[in-house]
Amino acid sequence: MDEIMFEKYDKMLFTPGHRACPGCGATIAVRAILEATGPNVFVVSPTGCLETFTAQYPYSPWGVPWLHVLFENAAAVASGVEAALKKRGLADKINIVIIGGDGGTHDIGLGALSGMLERGHNLTYICYDNEAYMNTGVQRSSATPVGASTATSPIGSQSWGKERPKKNLPAIALAHGVPYVATASIAYPKDLTRKVKQALAIRGPKYIEVHSPCPIGWGFDSSQTIEIAKLAVNTGLVPIYEAFQDQPLKVRKLPKRVPVNEYLRQQKRFRHLVDGQGDETHVALIQAIADDNVRRYGLA
Amino acid sequence: MAKGKLSVMEGSMAIAQAVKACRPAVISAYPITPQTHIIEFLAQMVANGELDAEYIRADSEFSAASILAGASATGVRTYTASSSQGLLLMTEMIYHLARTRLPVVFTGTNRQITAPIGLQPDHQDTMSFRDAGMIELYVEDVQEAYDTHLQAFKIAEDHDILLPVMVCMDGFVLTHVFEPVKTFEQADVDAFLPPYEPIHFLSLDKPMVFGSGTDDVNTMEFHYMNHQAVLRARDKIETVAREFETSFGHYRGGLIDTYATEDAEVILVAMGSIIGTLREAVDVLRAEGVKVGLVKVRSFRPFPAEALRQAISHAGAVAVLDRALSFGYQGVLATDVKTALYDAPVRPLVLGLMAGFGGREVNLDTVRQIVKRTQRALDEGRVSNETEFIDLKTETMPKFRVVT
């Protein structure tokens, strides 16, 4: 049995059998990313879902060298890996990709990420954005969208969920003057693979944010991950684009826009806004964010 | 055979020269007084092409230590220096480096911890890593700091050890002082310290997972192995010091150093630059007929319990001069010294004294006072378990009060 397993999975870069939840968006992202990198890659991950479900000693689905250090420093750790590869004469032979969640990227790891982007390392940082701290039980992060109910932004008589809009980290990354920033969605894995390949072809620091729905944290059936991801894009709430230096933004156009209501009502985290009498004021506010994205990014 | 060239230089320059001679592949640092001169000299060496290292100016001390974790896990020699708040900010990484057995070498330029913010040297910063699982060596002068850095890489990277090592040197007193220092030829340092040969590192040839999680089934075993490695360093520190002597002609190293202890009734125990003052004081007091001796604790972790027992058990009383306090209990070094003596068949009285805490000056008069206090304890035949503060200015404290 062991031999059969070995033959089947030895050459895979990311095997089945890990501990991710059914319907996990992050695993779709990881497979699309490794499709782009091939085996010549070192992956660095911060603490988070991906780390937890792929690295419980002595098991691992990783078929590529993988390094986890702490929660808030993956970008710094990868900077050191790159420096060491330079000294070992391997910098041009091995790609380095960081894959981390929104908590480790938007919040606690932002300082290290900013340092990495500013210093100009030849690294590709990819955030799988599931819009909250899922590993610890769905607490709000700065990537949680406005209105979402989480364990630390619960609804109540004085609360309609998270009060502040989502942090625009791609824009922050772009403000560092880096050569490539892109957004993607696990709804479109081929697009993600292409963008990772594009990033690897450019020298310098790159940032890619991948919208990755979480059935447990958002409250939808695990069979619906891709559908939810598509809906998010098609409302305009998650603009999909590529930003190169000194070039106009390349965006994924939305021929048939969907009202945000369609997206919100399929997730438990937003249900308080749409159930019963609903909360028209706040739904309108979220619709305005989508409309603003359409104007700002030219999605129409 | 004695080797080397004697010249007068700033302590920080001596450290930079030692580090340069050790050929680190990756250096990463973030500026903090009084470490800055070290990392500035190294930056200049890299800028001049004298030192072929990747030098990463990190966005924080925490990132600097993280960068070195990545570099060390990729199989190369690494170095950083920091101090005080910078070291505290690195804390999470220092524990991690020890527990993942990554042999990063640190210079800890000792400085008091905020608050109140200040620049004076004490040992509260570096001694806070007591339980991290790393090795800490305290030095008394610039020559020892230079020598210890050469030894630190050799100890850290030894396959029986594989632990981060911090060379702790008092800020300003040692970093900014100009002293005659014997430095060695590159070829001689290369012969003493061969290139780092990592066992486990990130490689396409053998993809491995680094940084897995464990549960109650495996965690204790990892900690036990880390503990055993720190314990093995007791022998390794001595061995490397003797190898150093063979290579360079003088012995500077080991777990402890003793001075005039054989017939001493009173023995002073301390660490760091204060030792220089204490040696002078012992000479003066000996000339006056006082039977006083001195033990320098050079290795704080691993703690040299057996060596200490042998060095101080015969004394009537021991005064431990502490520059770090476990608030609500006792001085950190005193606590360890007392623990080490507990199993001794005969044990001296031990006085725990805060001296030089917060950078307060310790001079000949201070030492006279300490020795007198210790002799009084000897006469009375007892000591208090309470820590005493040397030169505490009780009259100024009412002015500090914000809560009445």
- Give the number of beta-carbon pairs within 8 Å between A and B: 148
Q: Does B118 touch chain A (CB under 8 A)?
A: no
Q: What is the model's pLDDT at position A252? A: 98
Tell whether the model's pLDDT for residue B404 goes beyond 90: no
Question: Given a cut of 90, is residue B385 above it in pLDDT?
Answer: no
Query: What pLDDT score was predicted for residue A43?
Result: 98
For an interface test with A, the pick among B212, B214, B216, B217 (most A C-beta atoms closer than 10 Å) comes out as: B212
What is the mean predicted confidence (pLDDT) over B54-77?
A: 98
For residue A54, give how far its alpha carbon lies from the nearest alpha carbon of chain B (Å). 8
Write the residue in A56, A83, A88 that is nearest to B56 by C-beta. Answer: A83
A98: closest chain B residue by CA: B70
Instruction: Give yes or no for residue B1 having a pLDDT over 60.
Output: no
What are the phi and psi torsion angles at B6 (to 5°)?
Answer: -90, 130
Fold of B256-389: Rossmann fold (3.40.50)
Interface check for B216 against chain A (CB to CB < 8 A): the answer is no
Nearest-CA neighbor of A196 among A211, A176, A181?
A181
For chain B, which residues make up each domain, given as ranges? Answer: 5-248, 256-389
- Cα-to-chain-centroid distance, residue A10: 27
CA distances from A84 to A77, A80, A107, B53, B69 (A): 11, 6, 27, 10, 10
Least CB–CB distance from B207: residue in A56, A63, A112: A63
Q: What average pLDDT is seen over chain B?
A: 97
pLDDT tens-digit readout, B92-143: 999 999 999 999 999 999 999 999 999 999 999 999 999 999 999 999 999 9
Contact across the interface for A55 and B213, Cβ inside 8 Å: yes
Tell me, what CATH number does A90's domain have? 3.40.50.970
pLDDT at residue A120 greater than cutoff 80: yes
What is the tally of structural domains in chain A?
1
User: B218 to chain A: which residues are within 8 Å by CB?
Assistant: 57
Q: How far is A208 from chain B (nearest CA, A)?
A: 21
pLDDT classification of B402: cutoffs 50, 70, 90: low
- The average pLDDT across A271-285 equals 92
| CB within 8 Å of B99: residues ≥ 6 apart | B133, B222, B223, B226
Nearest CB among A84, A114, A119 relative to B74 is that of A84
For B161-217, how does the pLDDT look when each residue is reduced to its tens digit (9 = 90+)? 999 999 999 999 999 999 999 999 999 999 999 999 999 999 999 999 999 999 999
User: Å from A69 to nearest chain B CA?
Assistant: 6
Average pLDDT over residues B276-283: 98
The highest-level CATH class for domain B5-248 is alpha beta
Question: Residues A244-268: what's their mean pLDDT?
Answer: 96
Supply A256's token pair: 């048939």
Asked if residue A1 has pLDDT above 60, the reply is: no
Query: What's the domain range around A273?
Result: 12-297
d(CA B358, CA B363): 15
Q: Do A87 and B26 touch (CB under 8 A)?
A: yes
CB neighbour list of residue A36: distance below 8 Å, 6 or more residues apart:
A192, A193, A194, A195, A196, A197, A200
Angle at alpha carbon of residue B241, lines to B168 and B262, rounded to 5° = 90
Q: Residue A8: is its pLDDT beyond 90?
A: no
Q: Check pLDDT > 90 for residue B2.
A: no
The token pair at B317 is 């009383």
B63 touches chain A (CB under 8 A): yes
Residue A117 has pLDDT above 70, yes or no: yes
Q: Containing H/E element for A250?
A: strand A250-251
The pLDDT value recorded for residue A10 is 77
| Residue A86 burial (CB count, 10 A) | 19
**pLDDT for res A3:** 74
Q: Is the ipTM of this complex over 0.90?
A: yes
The burial class, CB within 10 Å (0-12 / 13-18 / 19+), for A77 is buried
Cross-chain residue pair A112–B208, CB shorter than 8 Å: no
B271 inside 8 A of chain A by CB: no
Does residue A142 register a pLDDT over 60? yes
pLDDT at B56: 98
Query: Strands, DSSP E only, in B280-399?
Result: 292-297, 299-301, 317-322, 349-354, 388-389
Using the Cβ of B72 and the Cβ atoms of chain A, whether some distance falls under 8 Å is answered with yes
Q: Which residues contact A254 (CB under 8 A, 6 or more apart)?
A: A233, A234, A236, A294, A299, A300
pLDDT bracket for residue B381 (50, 70, 90): very high
Nearest to A226 by CA among A248, A211, A241: A211
Chain B residues in contact with A118 (beta carbon < 8 A)? 59
Chain A residues with beta carbon closer than 8 angstroms to that of B71: 80-81, 83-84
> Is B202 in the A-facing interface, judged by CB distances under 8 Å?
yes
Q: Which of 75-104 (B) contact A at CB < 8 A? A: 75-76, 78, 92-93, 96, 100
Nearest-CA distance from B20 to chain A in Å? 15
Chain B residues touching A51 at Cβ < 8 A = 211, 213
Read off the pLDDT band of B12 (50, 70, 90).
Answer: very high
Residue B45 sits at the vertex; the CA angle it makes with B39 and B49, to the nearest 5 degrees, is 145
Contact between chains at B74 and A80 (C-beta distance less than 8 A) = yes
Positions of E strands within B3-62: 5-10, 26-29, 54-57
Look at strands B5-10 and B178-183 and give their pairing: antiparallel
Asked if A81 and B202 come within 8 Å (Cβ–Cβ), the reply is yes
CA–CA distance from A41 to each of A96, B201, B204 (Å)?
6, 14, 8
Cα(A282)–Cα(B391) distance, integer angstroms: 65
Residue with tokens 């001679």: B21
State residue B270's pLDDT score: 98
Q: What is the pLDDT of residue B212?
A: 96
Q: Of A67, A71, A99, which to mutate for an interface test with B (greatest number of B Cβ within 10 Å)? A: A67
Q: Which two tokens stand for residue B240?
A: 């490397």
Instruction: State yes or no: pLDDT of A6 exceeds 90.
Output: no
Q: Where residue A2 falls among pLDDT bands split at 50, 70, 90? A: low
Question: Is residue A6 in a domain?
Answer: no
Instruction: Compute the average pLDDT of residues A191-199.
Output: 98
